[in-house]
Structure 1
Amino acid sequence: MIKEAAGKSNLKRVTLELGGKSPCIVFADADLDNAVEFAHHGLFYHQGQCCIAASRLFVEESIYDEFVRRSVEWAKKYVLGNPLTPGVTQGPQIDKEQYEKILDLIESGKKEGPKWSVAEVRGGIKATSSSPRSSLMLQTTCALPKKEIFGPVQQIMKFKSLDEVIKRANNTFYGLSAGIFTKDIDKAITVSSALQAGTVWVNCYSVVSAQCPFGGFKMSGNGRELGEYGLHEYTEVKTVTMKISQKNS
């Protein structure tokens, strides 16, 4: 709608940082404690209401069960309620409409899951006033992993090979950010280059600084904020060509 309005008025330039369905890939050689913690905060931060949320977790098959076990332990520690109350670690969703949308998406994922023999919910759903949270384990054949939930729903999926996980990670209309956890620098470079995302974090997540350009690929927007590239969006480049008269010496 913003771009349409710009086109109908005076063709003003707009930069759009839009939504995401960001993949976070955890390889078997990763520091597991570090990966679990960053992946958890990367999703549950701000009640999951964050454009860069690590909402699609791909975990290598050999460490999948242990990763899920530790992730559920993290989720169960959360205390829901008024965020201004001491001891509360997670506040409500922005409004009742969003709260209900999140629960509907969780239910749709659970219903669609058995069709593909995959869906399972662990950690359960806690709801205090208008704040649901859940840990979901779903494969990409379910509709849920393709939609931006914008809520505290963590989807953890298995993968077996490097090529497979790159293909699945890029199988989205979005391309805002991504995460990779591995101790293998060659693997980190290969995957970060292959991922279709404007920002890729390696062995960390949600690390943003004013010097680093931020923006998305595909339906996650156009243009960049921050860094030198952020200044380009406000720059008009001018070319002046001048013929110099030549006088006989």
Structure 2
Amino acid sequence: MRILLLGPPGAGKGTQAVLLAAHLSIRHVSTGDLFREHLDHGTLLGQHDRARLRAGLLVSDEVTIRVIQERLTRADTRGGFLLDGFPRSLAQAKALDGMLAASQSRLDAVLGLEIAEAEVVRRIAGRRLCRNEPAHIFHTEFSPPDVPGLCDICGGELYQRPDDSEATVRQRLEVYGSETAPVLDHYQAQGIATMISALGQVTEVLNRALLALGKDRAGGPGGDDH
């Protein structure tokens, strides 16, 4: 199968992408992983895009499309793949349609994770990281430390990353709504997009995705998808 998984920040998309690809025995293709690979090897990404990536900005459409196009030519994607992080815009979606059509293929399904803005803010803005390495993660509501502001494991100071602040999270959601949400409209018009709730246990969300794809459900317990 060739699948695209979409979802706003805080929807648990990264977790679901890994689990879903493993359950379906297809290759998980993550733009984040690809960008890190190219940065490590000094390929494809120019100085401008390396600087943008390290500053937390989106890489240009041109470079992103080239990176994905190269990745989808590798042998390990011939049996199917799950795209995670691409396409992020309507222009990228149309480019993806074109590159798949050139190989006489197309996406089989597009899954969109649905979650309310308030829940996203609740999940991300409450996250706290330890300043020591490895950076253990806590949450002010879901997994609070025994002593406020201190790591349970090493006693290090806990802090909130700047991009986890409520204002930044809401800004990221606004960008998602204006740039990435139209990608769902594009694929809904093609009749291959399905929306599923991102609320609940990890396995519950995975089972919704599998049901939408007409596949067997996963078994076993799942943790909270926060």
TM-score, normalisation: structure 2: 0.29
Q: Radius of gyration: which is bigger?
A: 1
Q: How does the TM-score come out when normalised to structure 1?
A: 0.27
